[in-house]
Structure formats: structure tokens, C-alpha cells
Amino acid sequence: MQQITDTSKHTQQIAIIQRLKQGSCSTLEFRAMGICSLAPRIMELRAKGYDISTSTQDELDHAGVKHKGIGVYTLHSTPQD
């Protein structure tokens, strides 16, 4: 899993798109990459024309604690498609 070292909006947006091109990814997975403000970045990407859907699932965090309704993001198309 790629981790970001620069927390600028642009770097986070690039990391999110690169990861979503590999398949769906959850909020907890994005946080493990170093992206803590995921919702605003997803909103910005959608405004730029990225078709990203959100679903939810129950998921265990790094400490083994179960969380209900964790967001899972899926990229369907990019502005270039």
C-alpha cells in the first residue's frame, strides 16, 4: 500500500485516483495511506468529473475493532473516459 508524505490536496487527490484505479477502497484503507480528510477530497474529485460511488461495509480497523458502515469508494469513470 502506497503511503503519502505530502498532505497537499493535489497529492491526496492523485493518490486517491491511483488507488481507486486498482479497485474499490475503504475509508480505513485510505487513512492507512495517510489520507485523513477523505470526504472533501472525494467531493473535489467528483466536482472535477470523476464518477466515484460510495457504499458501506463493516470492517475491522488495525487494532481489530469492528466498525459498522465504513465508506467504500469505487471509481467508475474519469473525466477523460
pTM of the model: 0.90
Does residue 1 form part of some domain?
no
Provide the edge-to-edge strand list for the sheet that holds 51-60: 25-26, 66-77, 51-60
pLDDT at 4 (0 to 100): 85
* Band of residue 5 on the pLDDT scale cut at 50, 70, 90: confident
28 has which bridge partners? Answer: none
**pLDDT attached to residue 1:** 66
* Overall domain count for the chain: 1
Residue 4 lies in a domain: no
Owning domain of residue 50? 9-77
Does 49 map to a domain?
yes
Q: Does a structural domain hold residue 64?
A: yes
Within a domain: 3: no
> 2 in a domain, yes or no?
no
Is 48 a member of any domain?
Answer: yes
**Do the domain assignments include residue 53?**
yes
DSSP letter, residue 5 = S
Give the mean model confidence (pLDDT) for residues 5-21: 93
